[in-house]
Structure 1
Amino acid sequence: MKFEHRDEYIKLGLKISYYRKLKGYTQEQLAEMMGKDTSYIGQIEAPNIAKAISMDTLFDIAKTLGVPAYKFLDFEDD
């Protein structure tokens, strides 16, 4: 991951966490619904890790949570 985008990945992880909790899912439930390892969602959401994810993964998360993908990248109000 490029260090210059670290803040954006942290914000993305926080957005994923926000919408996941809004839907009432645990990290484990979301990972299971996506067919991912349980720790994967935790790594994405952890601000101290700032894990980069692919667009495919972002689209999978958006679809699973029923949230338009662009909402995860809207950092205007942050």
Structure 2
Amino acid sequence: MEAKHGNAHRLIGAKIAYCRSVRGLTQSALAERIGISSGTLSRIERGQYWQSLSVDLLLDIAEALQVEVSAFLHPNELD
């Protein structure tokens, strides 16, 4: 079953992956910084972690990547 807002989750995940790669971080390195498994981060980046993607987790990811959380939510923020 896909989340009601599956496209939004995929967009958020893609933006997280983009920010991570621009900063030269591996999934493992970012996952360690925010206290989650690299498998969980992989699912987030693919837009497949929609059941438990919390605001707190998004804030932790944004902080670790040194971006505003709004960058993940606005379609053209990182473009």
Q: TM-score, normalised by structure 1?
A: 0.86
Count of aligned pairs: 76
Q: Could you tell me which residue of structure 2 aligns to residue 19 of structure 1? A: 19
**3-state SS in 1 of match to 2:75:** coil
**3-state SS in 1 of match to 2:5:** helix
CA change 1:38–1:7 in 2 (3 A) is same
Cα RMSD (Å): 2.0
CA distance in 2, matches of 1:38, 1:3: 21
CA distance in 2, matches of 1:39, 1:21: 16
Q: What is the CA-CA distance between 1:56 and the residue it aligns to? A: 0.3
Tell me which amino acid in the other structure corresponds to 2:62.
A
CA distance in 2, matches of 1:66, 1:73: 15
TM superposition outliers: structure 1 runs of 4+ over 6 Å: none
CA distance in 2, matches of 1:19, 1:3: 23
Listed as ranges, the matches of 1:1-78 within 5 Å are 3-47=3-47, 49=48, 51-52=49-50, 53-76=53-76
User: Deviations for 1:11-33, whole angstroms, at most 9, x for unmatched residues?
Assistant: 00000000000111010000011
Q: TM-score, normalised by structure 2?
A: 0.85
- Note the residue ranges of structure 1 that are not aligned, 5 or more in a row: none
Of all paired residues, the percent bearing the same amino acid is: 36
- Note the residue ranges of structure 2 that are not aligned, 5 or more in a row: none
